[in-house]
Amino acid sequence: MGRKSTLNFAPSAAAAAAGRKRKGSTFAPLPACKRRAPAQPAGGWASLPTDIVGLVTRRLLGEGDGDVVDYICFRAVCSYWRACTPAPRDSDLRDPRLRPRGWVALCDGDAVRPDDACEIAFFHTRTARRLRVPLPELRRHRVVGFTDGLVVLLHERTIAVRVLHPFTCDAVDFPPLLTMYLQVVRQKASLLDMNAAVCSSASSSSADSSIAVVVWFPYTDVVLAADPGSSDWEVLHRGFYVGCALPFQGRLYATMSCSSEIVQLYPPRRKAVPLENHVVIAHAPHSADREVCTFYLAELYVVDLNGSQRRKLIPVKNIGDTALFLSGDRCLSVSARDLPSLSSNSIYFTLPQYPILVLSLGTGLSERLADSCQIHDGKERIRPSVRPFTIVDHLITYCNPREWSKGLMFHEYHYIPRSFEELIKKIRAQERELRLPRIAFHSR
């Protein structure tokens, strides 16, 4: 690994300096390691033959539950295993086997941004594993997106975009957003709350798994995309307000505001008219009134009838041991099998007056979960923060990146009263740290 260590889960020095109060399928084999392996031990686990070590490696990096973090931990067991297996380095992030899968980021709820703390607590949605990873690479960046654990960053001075692999520290740089900001965005509020996702590049060949980044903005009807080698960002869609977006298997799907269409944003349909670049894959049921209904996208099942372009939505009345977390920005599908505090076959969501509700698909009954944890009555503080936070609190906050990025728990700060003057002042100071280069002001 880049810093000659596996994964360091101890709090970083930067975190201490910030004064935070925290408590702690078959694949082809990887290229052979060029280092000479030490003499094979006489017995024990370290004496596994090289071909068996290779078989374990392929299983750890295979499809399904395979994950690069398991491979990193496997290599850390002993010097012999580490010497006879290649390092999980992929500077261009082209190898899908070496990318994280199923990881999301948790919030500490102490009003310290992860980019200021220079560390992120990660949670695996299938195994409930939790890792806290120091990331000095976050310094002078803003976290603007997550895809399976890959972190999308925006530099606060150059407005350049970077994709960071948090477990190997490999990074891929993309062009600055300045030119497109001047042409199509122009609102700093849109830049502050922008969203981004990592996809499989549409320009790469079948043998090349290069990545691309797609970005979209609130209050701005434009979607942009770029490859690592691009000189600038490309306008994919105009006149298109993204509702809820879902990265899935290298593609990006979304709902449209004021529409019942479910579309594929990336890869686009290449036509001369930008408005028609998106591919409509389904429509919401005709019985759903778009004026009063909100549509969400969550990773459950993908249905393709007869291998054709005909697709339809199928009602689901039971999702097994899965719990869904729904939000207008992100949605999440989590296995409740190893999390007793989560209700399986249930949906967690929010309403303006109720920050966390859970609906059981089995009984049809709903429950408000955050009533006893409200720290204010809409005007004044009524109680201190109720801790420890539950996993539901954390996952709902992840689905609401505006609060997560500020280090605030959603159920506490989905609305910030004017009486919280110090917090409001702190947030505004943080927003001013995103400084557009001078050329931006001369070009207006």
pLDDT band at 26 (very low <50, low <70, confident <90, very high): very low
What confidence score (pLDDT) does residue 81 get? Answer: 87
What confidence score (pLDDT) does residue 305 get? Answer: 38
Where does residue 190 fall: left (phi above 0), alpha (psi -120 to 50 degrees), or beta otherwise? alpha
d(CA 233, CA 183): 11
What confidence score (pLDDT) does residue 238 get? Answer: 87
Contact call for residues 141 and 154 (beta carbons, < 8 A): yes
Residues 300-319: what's their mean pLDDT?
59
Select from 319, 398, 408, 403 the least CA-distant residue to 360. 319
Residues 223-252: what's their mean pLDDT?
90
pLDDT band at 262 (very low <50, low <70, confident <90, very high): confident
DSSP H/E element including 151: strand 150-155
Contacts with 34 (C-beta within 8 Å, 6 or more apart), sequence order: none
Percent helix, strand and coil across the chain, each to the nearest 5? 20, 25, 55
Residue 441 pLDDT > 60: no
Check residues 98 and 66 and name the one with the higher pLDDT. 98
What confidence score (pLDDT) does residue 58 get? Answer: 87
Encode pLDDT of 351-384 as tens digits. 988 999 999 999 999 999 999 999 999 999 999 9
Contact call for residues 218 and 187 (beta carbons, < 8 A): no
Stated pTM of the model = 0.85
What confidence score (pLDDT) does residue 61 get? Answer: 87
What confidence score (pLDDT) does residue 8 get? Answer: 40
Lowest mean pLDDT among 163-167, 200-204, 329-333, 390-394: 200-204
DSSP state of 137: G
What confidence score (pLDDT) does residue 286 get? Answer: 57
Mean of all residue pLDDT scores within the chain: 83
pLDDT band at 29 (very low <50, low <70, confident <90, very high): low
Residue 285 pLDDT > 70: no
What confidence score (pLDDT) does residue 1 get? Answer: 38
Contacts with 202 (C-beta within 8 Å, 6 or more apart), sequence order: 212, 266, 267, 268
Residue 406 pLDDT > 90: yes
pLDDT band at 15 (very low <50, low <70, confident <90, very high): very low
What confidence score (pLDDT) does residue 162 get? Answer: 97
Encode pLDDT of 47-58 as tens digits. 778 888 888 888
Residue 292 pLDDT > 70: no
pLDDT band at 308 (very low <50, low <70, confident <90, very high): very low
Select from 46, 193, 70, 61 the least CA-distant residue to 129. 70
Strand runs labelled E in 242-352: 242-248, 251-256, 261-266, 279-283, 322-325, 332-335, 346-351
Residue 154 pLDDT > 70: yes
